[in-house]
Structure 1
Amino acid sequence: MGLTSQTLLVLAISLSAAAFGTAVWLWPYLSRTTWRSMLGRIGMLLGIQLACLAALALAINNYFGFYGSWGDLLGTDEDGTAIIADGTAAVSHTNAVHILDHQQLPAPDGTAATTGGSLETVEIRGAKSHLSTRAYVYLPPQYGQPQYAQVKFPLIIALTGYPGTTENLITRLKYPELADAAIARKEMPPTILVLMRPTLAPPRDTECIDIPGGPQVESFFTQDLPTALGTAYRVGDSAAYRGVIGDSTGGYCALKFAMRHPGTYTAAVALSGYYRAEVDATTGDLFGGSKQLQRENDLMWRLRNLPPPAVSVLVTTSRHGESNYQATQDFLAAAEPPMKTASIILPSGGHNFATWSRELPQALPWLGRQLQAPRVNPVLAEAAPDAATS
């Protein structure tokens, strides 16, 4: 029975109700002052509390999508482990990206489009980092149209928070639907989206860092991922074509990738992101005792001590409900040209999907407009005007 299945949640709620009813029924028999009755009352109360906590934890996990499976929760998932024995071997097209499933999406509501994009389930393998992960690749409707047959498309990497599940980017934040609608309304150019989570070595929260002696997550996202996607899809081969967006931990990673690797990503969006990596029980030792590595992953330190990168970033927060409000104001104040900044600041909103769903309809098109748009063959476009406007 899956961790996120409704059957398990209903069962847990039923057990909680049964435990409560049993306690009410047996309480008169346990009201004596004997040690057996006292132990019975203690056991009954503990049982009710454990049953209620289990049901509550399952409900919260199902809503926020912290863990997608028992293996994810227990840290036994193999997704993200090292899979390439020889790090010197070149990764070919078939080894870099495995396409596991392909599905056609319906046309977006409220637009004149005749069809939506498509969604592929893939496994991506990294040669340098020796890491792998599953992801979803959204292909815009134009990807299969004749006038775009030789065209390179812009690419957006969309990241969850930690621990997060990739499926939340589809079911809760609805990235494919938003992209379909924005492209159909010409609010952003036709763009390929790769939906994934930053947790490549579960259950560890690596904060997207190349950990000394540990997982090389930053190398995966800034070197392996663009290379692998370039072998499987028609994506642009320069930073001008690439952007990255994420929420919470994914937002921190997005900003860091653009600021530390402007030659890989030209723009980033952080939805409720933060600005430095925190070390806690989920991260372990991230820096191997290196104060310099710690500083380099502190985005505020970078703004104050290093030349600003020539990238565009959008950050979001809320005046009430978000803990990063002041830190975001400090980040915006510290950024200087050639770095360009933009922001979405809500009057109120918590650190949750509801808030990010309010911000994404503006944030995603903004990011798409920062990237190099596809350059269509004008002869083919003129020959197929209906397809070009779909």
Structure 2
Amino acid sequence: MGLTSKKLLVLVIVLAVAVFVATIWLWPRLSRKGFKPIAGRVGLLFGGQVAILAALGLAINSYFGFYASFADLFGTQQDPGQVVDYTANGGGGKNGLEHVGFQGVGVPGGGSPAKAGRIEKVQIKGEKTGITTPAYVYLPPQYFQKAYAKQHFPAAVILTGYPGTAESLITRMKYPQTATEHIQQGRMQPMIMVMLRPSVVPPRDTECMDVPGGPQVETFFTKDLRQSISANYRVGTAAVNWGIMGDSTGGYCAVKMTMRHPDAFSSAVSLSGYYSTHNDPTTGDLFGGSAQLKNENDMMWWLKHKPAPNVWVMVTSSKEGEWNYSRTMAFIKAVKDPMQVSSIILPSGGHNFTTWNRELPTAIDKLAQHLTQ
């Protein structure tokens, strides 16, 4: 049973209940003096608390999608998935992309890719950076239709927060399901989505930076990933063909990489993202002692000291419940031409999936509108 297995969650809950019942049942017998009764009481109390905390932890992880496996939780090396000879293009993967498998989208008609699209699981290895990470690629229904056989599609990179799991973009955020429904309804143009987490060198949180003497994550996203996807799918290579969207840390990465690399991404959406970063125990030393590098990863500093890039970004927040509200309003005010900014500001909403699911349907439509084929 894996970390996210419902069977494991149910088993731990049953265990917690069993220890609670045992405590009630055995406590009178263990009320005597002596080492053994005292040890028994301590064991029951300790075991019960551990079981309850484990059940709560598993339930919270299942809801928020922090960790996908025990290896992910403890930061040990994970073996890559088994590669199979499959691709939507009818050939083997190239430019560092390996196809691992595929699945339906999970909407009515989901068994037919030409009606509902398809989700492919891939392994991407960066040619320039050497970074290897799993991802999911959503292909819209039109990708499999004869009328669109020679058409290239816009693409968007979709990022989780930190630590996050790519699976949560499918199971909790429902990006593929929303995209298929909106495409079928004529609300958005067909768009390919590449879904993954920003922490591509787990367990370290690099904040999507090229870390001095460390992993070159910014280069991976702005060059390696785009080249790999464009080489294996019908996606354009120009910035106007590419957007990026994410929540929390993923939102910060989306806005930052679009502003810093308008030659890679022309549009970005940040759901509850922030605008600067700093060193902490999860990041390690990101700046190598360089104040300039720290400044250049602060988007408020960038707006004040650098020429405004010709890009579009959307930022979101809530007047009550989100800690980034005042910074978001300051960011909006600081944007200058030719950069364009839009926002979704909710009356209330916390930093969680419930809030992001309220913002996602409108945000993904707007992102698609700003990309070209």
Is TM > 0.5 for Structure 1 vs Structure 2? Answer: yes
Q: Is the 8 A contact 1:108 1:177 kept in 2?
A: no
Match for residue 29 of structure 1?
29
- Could you tell me which amino acid in structure 2 is paired with residue 350 of structure 1? G
Cα distance between partner residues in 2 of 1:171 and 1:159: 14
* Deviation, structure 1 residue 10: 1.1
Worse-superposed segment, 96-105 or 131-140: 96-105
Cα distance between partner residues in 1 of 2:25 and 2:142: 65
* Deviation, structure 1 residue 39: 4.2
Name the CA shift for 1:214/1:102 in 2 (closer, same or farther; >3 Å): same
Match for residue 312 of structure 1?
312
- Could you tell me which amino acid in structure 1 is paired with residue 47 of structure 2? G
Cα distance between partner residues in 2 of 1:355 and 1:199: 22
Cα distance between partner residues in 2 of 1:95 and 1:241: 19
Aligned residues: 359
SS in 1 for 2:270: strand
Match for residue 54 of structure 1?
54
Match for residue 66 of structure 1?
66
Query: 1:337-348 alignment to 2 at 5 Å?
Result: 337-348=337-348
Q: Is the 8 A contact 2:95 2:227 kept in 1?
A: no
Cα distance between partner residues in 1 of 2:334 and 2:310: 14
Q: TM-score, normalised by structure 1?
A: 0.87
Match for residue 154 of structure 2?
154
Cα distance between partner residues in 1 of 2:106 and 2:168: 19
1:349 aligns with 2:349: yes
Match for residue 282 of structure 2?
282
Name the CA shift for 1:67/1:33 in 2 (closer, same or farther; >3 Å): same
Mark the runs of 5 or more structure 1 residues left unpaired by the alignment.
81-91, 375-390
Cα distance between partner residues in 2 of 1:236 and 1:95: 15
Q: Is the 8 A contact 1:96 1:231 kept in 2?
A: no
Cα distance between partner residues in 1 of 2:365 and 2:324: 23
Q: Is the 8 A contact 2:106 2:177 kept in 1?
A: no
Worse-superposed segment, 70-79 or 357-366: 70-79
Q: TM-score, normalised by structure 2?
A: 0.91
Match for residue 174 of structure 2?
174
CA deviations over 1:205-254 (Å, ceiling 9, x no partner)? 11111111211111100010111111101111110110000011111110
Worse-superposed segment, 195-204 or 98-107: 98-107
Match for residue 140 of structure 1?
140
Match for residue 130 of structure 2?
130
- Could you tell me which amino acid in structure 1 is paired with residue 259 of structure 2? M
Name the CA shift for 1:114/1:239 in 2 (closer, same or farther; >3 Å): closer
Match for residue 89 of structure 2?
none
Match for residue 165 of structure 2?
165
SS in 2 for 1:94: coil
Name the CA shift for 1:79/1:179 in 2 (closer, same or farther; >3 Å): farther
CA deviations over 1:56-97 (Å, ceiling 9, x no partner)? 1011001111000111101113379xxxxxxxxxxx952421
* Deviation, structure 1 residue 21: 1.5
Worse-superposed segment, 270-279 or 54-63: 270-279
SS in 1 for 2:17: helix
Cα distance between partner residues in 2 of 1:174 and 1:278: 31
Match for residue 363 of structure 1?
363
Match for residue 7 of structure 1?
7
- Could you tell me which amino acid in structure 2 is paired with residue 178 of structure 1? T
CA deviations over 1:262-307 (Å, ceiling 9, x no partner)? 1100000001111111322111111121111111111111112211
SS in 1 for 2:359: helix
Cα distance between partner residues in 2 of 1:114 and 1:129: 35
SS in 1 for 2:209: coil
Cα distance between partner residues in 2 of 1:173 and 1:102: 19
- Could you tell me which amino acid in structure 1 is paired with residue 265 of structure 2? Y
Cα distance between partner residues in 2 of 1:105 and 1:207: 30
* Deviation, structure 1 residue 44: 2.6
* Deviation, structure 1 residue 33: 4.7
Q: Is the 8 A contact 1:79 1:200 kept in 2?
A: no
Query: 1:235-274 alignment to 2 at 5 Å?
Result: 235-274=235-274
Worse-superposed segment, 54-63 or 140-149: 140-149
Mark the runs of 5 or more structure 2 residues left unpaired by the alignment.
81-91
CA deviations over 1:296-337 (Å, ceiling 9, x no partner)? 111111112211111100011111111111111111111111
Match for residue 382 of structure 1?
none
Q: Is the 8 A contact 1:134 1:196 kept in 2?
A: yes
Name the CA shift for 1:171/1:63 in 2 (closer, same or farther; >3 Å): same
Cα distance between partner residues in 1 of 2:354 and 2:270: 15
Identity percentage of aligned residues: 54
Name the CA shift for 1:114/1:107 in 2 (closer, same or farther; >3 Å): farther
Name the CA shift for 1:307/1:155 in 2 (closer, same or farther; >3 Å): same
Q: Is the 8 A contact 2:114 2:141 kept in 1?
A: no
SS in 2 for 1:138: strand
Match for residue 192 of structure 1?
192
Cα distance between partner residues in 2 of 1:199 and 1:107: 29
Name the CA shift for 1:277/1:68 in 2 (closer, same or farther; >3 Å): same
Q: Is the 8 A contact 1:79 1:133 kept in 2?
A: no
1:322 aligns with 2:335: no
Name the CA shift for 1:246/1:155 in 2 (closer, same or farther; >3 Å): same
* Deviation, structure 1 residue 37: 4.0
